[in-house]
Amino acid sequence: MRPKADLEPAVDTGPTGPVATAAAPTQGRRRPRAGRRRIRRLTTRDRLVIGVLLGLPLLLTLVLVWATTLASVGLSFTNWDGIGSAKFIGVDNYKELFTNYPPFATAIWHNLLWLGFLALVATPLGLLFAVLLDRQIRFSRFYQSAIYLPVVLSLAVIGFISQLLFARDDGIVNTVLGTTGQGGHPVDWIGDPHINIWVVLVMAGWRHAGYVMVLYLAGLKGVDPSLKEAAAIDGASARQTFFRVVFPVMRPVNIIVGVITVIEALRAFDIVYAINGGTNGLELLSVLITDNIIGEASRIGFGSAIAVVLLLISVGCIIAYCMTELREEKS
């Protein structure tokens, strides 16, 4: 280290100077001697470094994530088609969305179905795997790797693989079920709009369970073993110990898993888009948005209204999440 070389002349670091150390308590800032440990005297160069290296990512996120999200909200009240000028039309887009756009209801239903399936089937399955693998058994590592492997695959690849597995005439699933060949009635897993959403859900759940398993394995390792012992001494059964003691203690992990489940369900896009572009029974909110925007119709205002509905659902979850985080930060 070359301590002196990096030190610029301390111009503005006087006791009353605008010290950029936020976390210092107010009275500490007034009386620099008392709160000395907290006070960092920042040189001009330090401020420049912070300004640029904090400013850049902040700017990038504010412009590309937050401003664009707000822009979507704004556009949803216009009839913009991407070329001409945008005209404010109030809530007409929303009116049409709810009354005169059949795919919307289907898409909402599919997204909710997705959420329900992940939350009620895939997530508990992941938890079950984690609990089983957390006991010290042989081959645990092999089992973990096998179950976790789908998580590293892209959802698009999973979509393509699904087509192979569930193809009507020569797919593996139909062959195993014995419905192919003469006289059989092969199920059209991908082509039948009443069935294909379930196929996609199974494949999405296949991946999600591995994800959840990894998170819960880490969570279970973090549970203090003396808690379990205490519960056992008090005469609790294994089941009671898990549901009354272990599971509640894993609250931070439960929150993360909950957030991930919701987010995955709302973001779902790749699998269905890879399979058939999100049509014919595989409509999702995300697909409707992309269709209205980069599709031939180019109804940007209308597509944005769908985006806002998706946003509102997510924001509800995000706020709930941030509140919990905030409470933890305070305590």
- Residues 123-182, interacting with other proteins (CB under 8 A): 129, 132-133, 135-150, 152-158, 160-165, 167, 169-172, 174-176, 180
Taking the complex as a whole, how short is the minimal distance between the CB of residue 278 and other proteins, in angstroms? 11
Taking the complex as a whole, how short is the minimal distance between the CB of residue 208 and other proteins, in angstroms? 12
Q: How far apart are CA 238 and CA 126, in angstroms?
A: 19
Q: Does 38 bind other proteins (CB under 8 A)?
A: yes
The contact mask relative to other proteins for 85-124 (x = CB under 8 A, - = no) is: ----------------------------------------
Residue tagged 């888009």 (tokens):
273
Residue 282 or 308 having the CB closest to other proteins: 308
Taking the complex as a whole, how short is the minimal distance between the CB of residue 107 and other proteins, in angstroms? 11
Distance of CA 254 to the CA centre of its chain: 14
Distance of CA 144 to the CA centre of its chain: 22
Instruction: Give the DSSP letter of residue 84.
Output: S
| Token representation of residue 105 | 């209801």
Residue 197 or 213 having the CB closest to other proteins: 213
| DSSP one-letter string for 6-23 | GPPP--S-STTS----TT
Taking the complex as a whole, how short is the minimal distance between the CB of residue 59 and other proteins, in angstroms? 9
Interface stretch with other proteins, choices 96-104, 112-120, 202-210, 230-238 (CB under 8 A): 202-210
Taking the complex as a whole, how short is the minimal distance between the CB of residue 219 and other proteins, in angstroms? 6
Taking the complex as a whole, how short is the minimal distance between the CB of residue 230 and other proteins, in angstroms? 22
DSSP-assigned beta bridge partners for residue 88: 78
Residues 221-280 binding other proteins (CB under 8 A) are 221-222, 252-253, 256-257, 259, 263, 266-267, 269-270, 273-274
Residues 276-315 binding other proteins (CB under 8 A) are 285-286, 289-290, 293-294, 300, 303-304, 307-308, 310-311, 314
Q: Does 64 bind other proteins (CB under 8 A)?
A: yes
Q: Does 63 bind other proteins (CB under 8 A)?
A: yes
User: Residue 263 in contact with residue 115, Cβ under 8 Å?
Assistant: no
Helix ranges (H only) for the chain are 26-30, 44-61, 68-75, 92-99, 102-117, 123-134, 140-152, 155-165, 172-177, 196-221, 225-233, 238-240, 247-249, 251-267, 270-276, 285-294, 300-330
Residue 78's φ and ψ, nearest 5 degrees, are -120, 175
